[in-house]
Structure 1
Amino acid sequence: MLQFINPQPVALASAMTNPLLFDSVSDFAEGVALVRMKSQLAYINRDGQVSIRVADDNVTVATDYAEGLAVAQAGDFFGYLDRSGSWGIPVQFRKAKAFSEGLAAVQGGTKYGYVNPQGEWAIEPQFDLAERFVNGRALVKLEDAYGYVDTTGRRVVPLTLKDAWSFAESLAVARVDQLYGYINPDGEMVIAPTYDGAFSFAEGLARVRQGRTFGFINAEGKMVVEPTLAFASDFSEGLAAALIEGQWGYIDPTGRVAIAPQFDYAADFSEGLAVVQKDGRYGYVNPQGEWAIAPQYANAGKFSEGRGRVQIDHRWGFVDAEGNLLSGAGFKDVE
């Protein structure tokens, strides 16, 4: 049975007396979210209080915390902020990526290597590209070839692939000639390269492209959703956004339409809600396709740690799952 959004009017999110609105915000991660007001950067907690003040005024860019450290840029170089907002790893790298499994890919000079949380080289810089670790494997590139290293730097899959992605659910996209398949952590091709495009596994299924249309395969390589979709996203919380006859809806893992196509845009579900756009405004629906938060925002982001990013006019704030805007002292805490 198709699920349709309830057409009855939905009350707008209740207005708080002191809503927190910023020039830009990030998703919540590890209990805090990065916010910017003019040149000020800080991290607020879920109650709207500034919990981490970026100590160095030269920092112009910062990211979410991952494993207790956040990538930050000062001038032309990058380092990592600790949970006090000071430099946990001094600014020194040309590029830097988030920590994962105790290591972070950084560019020192012209090559990428990996550092530990103390900023010491765990894998010396030697690669032209390096990605994060997933289950003990990291994708690396040298000249025109890709392969994988373990956390000691040992090349566990030789650098012979012409194109490859990071592992997800123990399988990784790999290209042979002009077609894509999947390899296991030992580098063995376990799903033959027969696809014009392929994407990472999520919830046991992977999106693949045959010609110009998309479908889904399982971990054995069986096509479980035929490639008839104009476009689709990966599965998240049991549903995948799909473009059907010019509008977005959601399908279940069998390919059945679970939420009828009716949106201008639809994003992945996260924490039981998904951002959708209807008539130029953004709101959130639940897995039954009912409005949880009415479409009223200029833009919106996924829910993370109980909060969703929303844009009101030219400012950004956060709402909870009932649509209440986060309020608090904001930067008044640090003035």
Structure 2
Amino acid sequence: MPGGAVVSPAGTGQPSSGSQGRGSIPKGKMKKHIAAPMTLIFPAVVLYLIFFIWPAAIGLYYSFTNYKGMPKYKTVGLKNYTTLLADHDFWAALLRTFEFIICSVPLNVCISLLAAILVTSRKAIGHTLARTLFFIPWLVSPIITGLIWRWMFGEGFGIVNQVIQSFGGHGLRWATDANLSFAVLVLAGVWAGMAFNMLLFITALKNVPESLYEAASLDGANAWQRFVNVTLPGIAPTMFMVVLLGTIGGIKEFAMVQALNGGGPGTSNRLVVQYIYETGFSNSRIGYASAASMILLVILVIVSLIQMWFNKRNGGK
């Protein structure tokens, strides 16, 4: 009937089944659509709760106690935090950690980007071999990385000093001079992290449209101008991610430093995670080390938020 409802063939006045829920999903199928992904996600959620959330909760609880690994301990409130704020060793380790980040992250970004540009260049020869060679450091564990660089820069047995002496020079005090030891630490960190960042940059470079380079060439832009005005804006989100991951990784660096120089000479190159490890396990001050871990967690969150804000402010997504 014109302007009226569609009547069922039985004449009951009920809307026909063809007009009901057109495009909607039946409840049975909806439950299946929800159950399938939840079944896949559930094991990951359980593992995350067991290995991340639960240890973090225990660490937070211990940070308010004088726990030393023994059954008997007591709550001390904020004493660990107030003591930590006046702990010169903690702030020295934290300062050295940020110095390590400031030196290693920009250098890592530049070398990784240069390597990515070289292996993606049409004029370069041996792309596959170059990628394999550049990727080898990523296959090496941090402990082995530390041992390799320790062997290379050993004062009495290192290959670097042997090369210097073969040219008539004097071997340098790579292990006993704090600044030289720190320089070796930075170089080792850059070498170890270059491969993964290079892969990220290779993907980003391939996603920059060729039409932009062609338009820039038609406008008379040289290679440097194309890099600054086309390449860098095109890979900006990836560069932000590389800087963020490098910063977080630098703050958490431990195994490579422990194998390379143990934070030495003395404690001059001890990073903050080493300080937490030595305080908690070597000195059996687990509650105090837990408080340091909580402060480090807050610093990580703040650094991440600042970098995300800076990226968004500059047009990142």
Shorter-chain TM-score category?
A: under 0.3
Higher relative contact order (CA closer than 8 Å, sequence separation 6+): 2
What is the TM-score normalised by the length of structure 1? 0.20
Q: TM-score, length-normalised on structure 2?
A: 0.21
Query: Which of the pair has more CA radius of gyration?
Result: 2
Looking at secondary structure, tell me which structure has more strand per residue.
1
